[in-house]
Protein backbone atom coordinates (compact mmCIF):
# COMPACT_ATOMS: atom_id res chain seq x y z
CA UNK A 1 0.00 0.00 0.00
CA UNK A 2 2.96 2.32 -0.53
CA UNK A 3 2.47 5.28 -2.85
CA UNK A 4 5.97 4.78 -4.24
CA UNK A 5 4.92 1.36 -5.61
CA UNK A 6 1.19 1.77 -6.25
CA UNK A 7 0.96 5.44 -7.22
CA UNK A 8 -1.28 8.04 -5.62
CA UNK A 9 -4.23 6.82 -3.50
CA UNK A 10 -3.15 3.19 -3.01
CA UNK A 11 -6.33 2.39 -1.00
CA UNK A 12 -8.62 3.64 -3.79
CA UNK A 13 -9.92 1.12 -6.32
CA UNK A 14 -8.53 2.17 -9.69
CA UNK A 15 -8.79 -0.71 -12.18
CA UNK A 16 -6.66 1.07 -14.80
CA UNK A 17 -3.79 1.77 -12.38
CA UNK A 18 -1.23 -0.36 -14.24
CA UNK A 19 -2.47 0.11 -17.82
CA UNK A 20 0.31 1.35 -20.06
CA UNK A 21 3.03 0.38 -17.58
CA UNK A 22 4.25 -2.51 -19.75
CA UNK A 23 3.65 -5.17 -17.11
CA UNK A 24 1.41 -8.20 -17.59
CA UNK A 25 -1.15 -9.34 -15.02
CA UNK A 26 0.82 -12.46 -14.12
CA UNK A 27 4.23 -10.77 -13.72
CA UNK A 28 5.63 -10.75 -10.22
CA UNK A 29 7.36 -7.90 -8.46
CA UNK A 30 7.42 -5.70 -5.37
CA UNK A 31 4.50 -3.62 -6.65
CA UNK A 32 2.14 -6.64 -6.87
CA UNK A 33 2.77 -9.35 -4.27
CA UNK A 34 -0.47 -11.34 -4.61
CA UNK A 35 1.32 -14.07 -6.59
CA UNK A 36 4.50 -14.03 -4.49
CA UNK A 37 8.02 -13.34 -5.74
CA UNK A 38 11.16 -14.99 -6.99
CA UNK A 39 11.45 -18.76 -7.05
CA UNK A 40 8.46 -18.99 -4.70
CA UNK A 41 6.11 -17.24 -7.16
CA UNK A 42 2.80 -19.04 -7.65
CA UNK A 43 3.06 -21.47 -10.57
CA UNK A 44 -0.73 -21.21 -11.08
CA UNK A 45 -0.74 -17.44 -11.63
CA UNK A 46 -1.08 -17.84 -15.40
CA UNK A 47 -4.08 -20.13 -15.03
CA UNK A 48 -5.62 -17.84 -12.39
CA UNK A 49 -5.43 -14.76 -14.62
CA UNK A 50 -6.76 -16.78 -17.57
CA UNK A 51 -9.70 -18.03 -15.46
CA UNK A 52 -10.53 -14.48 -14.35
CA UNK A 53 -10.55 -13.27 -17.95
CA UNK A 54 -12.76 -16.20 -18.98
CA UNK A 55 -15.14 -15.44 -16.09
CA UNK A 56 -15.45 -11.78 -17.13
CA UNK A 57 -16.12 -12.83 -20.73
CA UNK A 58 -18.81 -15.25 -19.53
CA UNK A 59 -20.52 -12.55 -17.44
CA UNK A 60 -20.41 -10.05 -20.30
CA UNK A 61 -21.82 -12.59 -22.78
CA UNK A 62 -24.69 -13.71 -20.52
CA UNK A 63 -25.96 -10.35 -19.27
CA UNK A 64 -27.08 -7.40 -21.35
CA UNK A 65 -26.90 -4.85 -18.54
CA UNK A 66 -24.83 -4.58 -15.36
CA UNK A 67 -25.72 -1.74 -13.00
CA UNK A 68 -24.33 -0.50 -9.69
CA UNK A 69 -26.91 0.94 -7.32
CA UNK A 70 -24.43 2.78 -5.11
CA UNK A 71 -20.78 2.96 -6.34
CA UNK A 72 -19.57 3.90 -2.84
CA UNK A 73 -20.53 0.42 -1.58
CA UNK A 74 -18.56 -1.30 -4.37
CA UNK A 75 -15.22 0.10 -3.20
CA UNK A 76 -15.88 -1.16 0.33
CA UNK A 77 -16.76 -4.61 -1.01
CA UNK A 78 -13.54 -4.83 -3.02
CA UNK A 79 -11.41 -3.92 0.01
CA UNK A 80 -13.31 -6.36 2.23
CA UNK A 81 -12.36 -9.95 2.96
CA UNK A 82 -13.74 -12.63 0.68
CA UNK A 83 -15.42 -14.44 3.57
CA UNK A 84 -17.30 -11.35 4.78
CA UNK A 85 -20.47 -10.75 2.72
CA UNK A 86 -21.06 -7.15 1.66
CA UNK A 87 -24.12 -5.81 -0.12
CA UNK A 88 -22.78 -4.11 -3.26
CA UNK A 89 -26.00 -3.15 -5.02
CA UNK A 90 -24.86 -4.88 -8.21
CA UNK A 91 -27.72 -5.78 -10.57
CA UNK A 92 -27.45 -8.09 -13.59
CA UNK A 93 -30.08 -8.04 -16.36
CA UNK A 94 -30.26 -11.10 -18.61
CA UNK A 95 -30.57 -11.07 -22.41
CA UNK A 96 -33.86 -12.98 -22.20
Neighbours of 4 (CB within 10 A): 8
Establish how many alpha carbons lie within 13 A of residue 19's alpha carbon, considering only the half-sphere containing its beta carbon.
4
Task: Say if CB 28 and CB 35 are below 8 A apart.
Answer: yes
Report angle CA 78, 32, 74 to the nearest 5 degrees: 10
Q: Is 57 annotated as a binding residue?
A: no
Q: Which residues are annotated as a binding site for heme?
A: 42
Q: Which residues are annotated as a binding site?
A: 42
Amino acid sequence: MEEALQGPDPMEFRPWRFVGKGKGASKVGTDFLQFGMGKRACPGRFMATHDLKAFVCLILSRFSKIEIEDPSKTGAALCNRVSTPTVTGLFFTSHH
